[in-house]
Amino acid sequence: MKILISGASGFVGKEALRGFTGKGYELRALTRDVKKIEREFAKDASIDWQQIPAMDDEVAWGRALHEVDIVVHLAARVHVMRDHAADPLREFRKANVAGTEHLARLAAKHGVKRLVYVSTVKVNGEATSGGARYSETDVQPLQDSYSISKREAEQALLGVASETGLEVVIVRPPLVYGAEVKGHFIQMLRVLSRGIPLPLASVRNLRSLIYVKNLVDALIVCATHTAAVGQTYLVSDGEDISTPDLLRRLGAEMGHPARLVPFPPSLLKLLARLIGKSGQVERLLGSLQVDSGKIRSELNWTPPYSLQQGLKATSEWYRNAHL
């Protein structure tokens, strides 16, 4: 079985290459920087490396999709903290909606059987409360350009599936962490390593996370299980954690205990609004929980690694790479 992975040089993409090759699948990897990823994987002969073609290059796309059975679509314009685009939503739609639909139509045209699309829990919403967990059918109004584009991409894929018979599976992860993680998670690791005090001891929230190896394992199941066709799945490690507990566990694994001090969360939110950092602070203070029961029951999937194992591996990577 031949599997094409788009966005193969990204954080999740590289782990997906390792995971799928470890299961014996024949891989074709699409990336914007073939030379860099080839060096990292020592030109693994089991992987066919290819540059992502221009959107209008039908011949190159034909080569990329030739004899492919399954596409795992990871490539995307991701959420950025400082977006300098004049019209961010337009740019997100161009990459995440038009690009995804274009790939799906070409895949169907070239006989690809299934496309697994990695979306985001942000399609469901930004926060939960009162111990509630998002299910796959929960939908909240969206204002963030990234989440809007991902929801529209999901809808476009379902339209292509209806028209062409292409099997589509949608996976919505919450925050993904692991070796080579970026964004807010690595910022937490940096703060811990420097021993900076954090006013978060009074926070009482719960958030779902997923270790990157658990996500890849779920993608492998979604790529191959007959019951996954046409379904959308939320995935997580299965153990929700508060921000203070997350920092304490990471600090303990790194050998740099978290220095947490009490401070009223309501005042933190007020200060965040005053300095224009509400979104970043809310991710530390608010809850976002998902119910991954559907994929567990329908596909008999369970995460192979515990939350603690994932945090330990991530901390070890950071300690070895940065300390």
Domains annotated on the chain, with CATH: 2-177+211-237+289-304 (3.40.50.720)
pLDDT of residue 43: 66
Instruction: Output the pLDDT for position 318.
Output: 97
Whole-number pLDDT of residue 81: 46
Position 195 scores a pLDDT of 96
pTM for the model? 0.96
Give me the tens of pLDDT residue by residue for the chain, a chain 323 residues long.
Answer: 999 999 999 999 999 999 999 998 999 999 988 887 878 887 677 899 999 998 889 999 999 999 999 999 999 988 654 556 778 899 999 999 999 999 999 999 999 999 999 999 999 999 999 999 999 999 888 889 999 999 999 999 999 999 999 999 999 999 999 999 999 999 999 999 999 999 999 999 999 999 999 999 999 999 999 999 999 999 999 999 999 999 999 999 999 999 999 999 999 999 999 999 888 899 999 999 999 999 999 999 999 999 999 999 999 999 999 98
242-246, Cβ contacts within 8 angstroms, sequence gap of 24 or more: 242/203, 242/204, 242/205, 242/206, 242/207, 243/200, 243/203, 243/205, 243/207, 243/284, 243/285, 244/200, 244/201, 244/203, 246/188, 246/207, 246/209, 246/311
C-alpha to C-alpha distance for 20 and 23, rounded to whole angstroms: 5
Largest Cα separation within the chain, whole Å, is 60
The set of residues, in sequence order, having a beta carbon less than 8 Å from that of 89 and lying 6+ positions away, is 145, 148, 149
Helix 278-285 with 265-274: angle, nearest 10 deg: 160
Q: What is the pLDDT of residue 82?
A: 54
Give the amino acid at 78: V
Looking at residue 64, its pLDDT comes to 96
Say how far apart CA 227 and CA 88 lie, in whole Å. 36
pLDDT value, residue 221: 98
CA separation for the pair 211, 11 (Å, rounded): 12
What residues are annotated to the active site?
146
